Amino acid sequence: MGKITFIIGGARSGKSSKAIALAKEKAASVAFIATCEALDKEMSRRIAAHKRSRPAGWKTFECPRDISLALKKAGNKFEVIIIDCLTLWVSNLLLERTKEKLIEGKTKRIIAALKKIKGGSIIVSNEVGLGIVPGNELGRAFRDIAGRVNQIVAQGADEVFFMAAGLVVKLK
């Protein structure tokens, strides 16, 4: 059924731009599931810039915590669904004190749901394991859980791309 493409890389590596370009190539009807929340003015500006980078006809679902709900709303109405990004989603859940096993279970359910839809999907996430070990417990928990979420998604994906400095490497 639905083909899952996973795009992972560092901050500002070109992941979102790649996801948008792939979706434009593949589909006219696209659902964009955004996981970011504007908690300050600077983040509001970033979100506005992201919105401007997407075609006006795309449907945006702002779901910082419940990706599954957005997938239910989108259903089979779209040729492509983009989820951008998993690491913000993990961060949002962690700040609500959601347990690691629950986050992993939610991730597995998202992958299972995406496999059942007719259209394709593109998932964006940050690679968090290439830097230093975070200096506090919450930072280390985030890195560990995000790493496991990324592994779950990579296992379930049909293709995986790694982005660095705007360049793409196909991993799977």
DSSP track, 53-119 = TS-TTSEEEE-SS-HHHHHHHHTTS-SEEEEE-HHHHHHHHHHTT--HHHHHHHHHHHHHHHHHSSS
CB 48 within 8 A of CB 20: no
74 is catalytic: no
**φ/ψ of residue 158, rounded to 5:** -80, -35
Q: Active site residue: 24, 50, 108, 148, which one?
A: 50
- 72 Cβ contact list (under 8 Å, min separation 6): none
Whether omega for the bond prior to residue 85 falls within 30 degrees of 0, making it cis, is: yes
Q: Which residues are catalytic?
A: 50
